[in-house]
Amino acid sequence: MRVGIVMGSKSDLPIVSKIGVVLDELGVAWEMRILSAHRTPAQAEEWARTAQDRGLGVLICCAGMAAHLGGVVAAHSLLPVIGVPINASLGGIDSLLSIVQMPPGVPVGTVGIGSAGAKNAAWLAIRILALSDRGLAGRLIEARRAMTEKVLKDDAALQTQLG
């Protein structure tokens, strides 16, 4: 178990599940919980406080609306915390601003809203873990190469199509 993923509600799961897909592709183990900063504050605190001792290296916190989950987790753990704003209301802008504007000293590294942000939370966690894992660093290099090759292949096909 190397990445801890937590979401504020089961309603976040369709977006949050994309994190696990990316981590699986790169062979990174993860755990996933539903815990709310507002509805289960004691359990959210406990999860954050015990995360490092359970072997987690990065925590990804996903929540919508007044999204305080990432901030609460960052308050109770010194692990790097990544926040994913979920588009539950107001186009996700409320969640984005709730997550990103942390007081100095207690950072939550915030990615984009929704699906792209969820995927990038996984990619960012992978980059952090790859700093101290040569095998993972190698798989990350390969994954980036595959992304580059796909775009170049798509461009070549487009050029052929356009004549």
Cα-based distances in Å from 89 to 29, 54, 59, 82: 31, 34, 24, 20
Q: Decide: is 121 part of the binding site for ligand RP5 (CB under 6 A).
A: no
CA distance 73 to 139: 29
Residue 72 near residue 81 (C-beta atoms within 8 A): no
Closer CB to ligand RP5, residue 72 or residue 130? 72
- In the bound complex, what is the minimum distance in angstroms from residue 5's beta carbon to ligand RP5? 13
Q: Is 8 in the site for ligand RP5 (CB under 6 A)?
A: yes
Inter-residue contact 5 to 62 (CB < 8 Å): yes
Interface segment toward ligand RP5; rule CB under 6 A; list 21-29, 63-71, 75-83, 118-126:
63-71
Q: Is 64 in the site for ligand RP5 (CB under 6 A)?
A: yes
Ranges assigned E (strand) in the chain: 3-7, 30-34, 58-64, 81-86, 109-110
**Is residue 117 a contact point for ligand RP5 (CB under 6 A)?**
no
Binding of ligand RP5 at residue 12 (CB under 6 A)? yes
Nearer to ligand RP5, 28 or 86 (CB): 86
Least Cβ distance, residue 46 to ligand RP5 (angstroms): 18
Cβ(22)–Cβ(42) below 8 Å: no
Q: Which of 11/101 has CB closer to ligand RP5? A: 11
Question: Sign (positive/negative) of CA torsion 6, 9, 12, 13?
Answer: positive
Q: Which residues bind ligand RP5 (CB under 6 A)?
A: 7-9, 11-12, 36, 63-65, 86, 88
